[in-house]
Amino acid sequence: MTPWLAEQFDSDRPWNEVVTDLLTVEESIVHDPRGVFYVANSEMTKPSPSLLAGATGRIFLGVQIGCAECHNHPFAPWKQEDFWGLAACFGRLRHTSKNSNQLTEAPADDAPPAREVTIIVPEGAGKAVGTVVPARFLDRTTTPDGTGSVRGQLAAWITARDNPFFAKAQANRFWARMF
């Protein structure tokens, strides 16, 4: 991962494009350095929507939303449905075959509405267990439309110029690194 990132910085590639590559990778996640984000946030080699939601909030948005996985955050405005709404954006991830390390997003199921992206809150997640939560981004108003890549739509929202989280988070990360 480090050589790939260094190459991106050396080629003066915009950070929003690098982040989009990290979030939307579909190549072999074991052999492609862009896949390290998914490998690091997997359980038993299966990408974990809850781990990916927490890491996405922390790394790309500068918010600690992981606390809201099991309960409403006690010191921030994040609710459980915010956390699981973000996790739903990763809920369709699948390996293309049993022995493959390539990721793909499973198509929407036939349940109505067929294009709605949702996740069922799993056991161990507090009072919300069993609740069906629709995907939504942390601005609480934007939702993926269910067509195309949900991760692509999430990456576009995260890196959008008017996103209040991304630029601030990255500026803070770079300043912290410099000091």
Q: Using one digit for the tens of pLDDT, what is the confidence trace for 56-115?
A: 999 999 999 988 888 887 788 888 999 999 999 998 887 665 556 677 777 655 444 556
The residue type of 175 is W
Give the residue-averaged pLDDT of 162-175.
89
| pLDDT confidence of residue 112 | 47
Question: What are the angstrom distances between the C-alpha of 58 and each of 11, 22, 53, 155?
Answer: 26, 15, 9, 14
| pLDDT confidence of residue 21 | 92
8 A C-beta contact, residue 87 and residue 119:
yes
